[in-house]
Amino acid sequence: MTLFFPDVNVWHGLSDGEHSHHKAASDWLSQLPADSRLIFSRYTHVGLLRLLTNAAAMGDQTLTLRKAWNVYDSWLEDPRVEFYPEPRDADSAYRAATEPFLAKPATKWVGDCWLLAYAESSQASLVTFDRALYEFARKRGHAQSFQRDPFDFSGTN
């Protein structure tokens, strides 16, 4: 079994048919091996609810919180998807992931390092559309291994 940990924007792309990365995210999901599992953390769970109920992210397709919960619940009904509680060693992994940024302001990296730490602690591959996060995770051995450029969504190899 292979574990994948999609970040919030990947879950958003998978959940919203109007999202700019919906096709890419859906194509990625459809090509996963049958024994693959996708995991939610509390961070990605809350983030998906936040985005689905945010007019800036959803425009005229903004969901009520009830409908956003329904989207999340439908993911959990998918046998490939599970909620994983925070791993016991996530804090130490988080501190290690933030190490390269300790001497500088790192607002963006605070959340991104948490995603990476969670993926590492869960022994999952982080899946993201964020190039910088992808490269950082790849160098640490915890990013999705793609057969082609993960940011070439043209459908050509």
Per-residue pLDDT reduced to its tens digit, 64-113: 999 999 999 999 999 999 999 999 999 999 999 999 999 989 788 999 99
pLDDT at residue 127 greater than cutoff 60: yes
Q: Structurally, how many domains does the chain consist of? A: 1
Q: Is residue 27 part of a domain?
A: yes
pLDDT at 5 over 90: yes
pTM of the predicted protein model: 0.86
pLDDT number for residue 143: 67
Residue 144 forms part of a structural domain: no
Asked, for residue 65, whether it belongs to a domain, the answer is: yes
Q: Which residues contact 111 (CB under 8 A, 6 or more apart)?
A: 43
Domain membership flag for residue 100: yes
User: Does a structural domain hold residue 156?
Assistant: no
131 in Cβ contact with 108 (< 8 Å): no
Please check whether residue 105 lies inside any domain of the structure: yes
In whole angstroms, what is the distance from residue 100 CA to residue 84 CA? 27
Q: Which domain covers residue 132, as residue numbers?
A: 2-139
CATH of the domain at 32: 3.40.50.1010
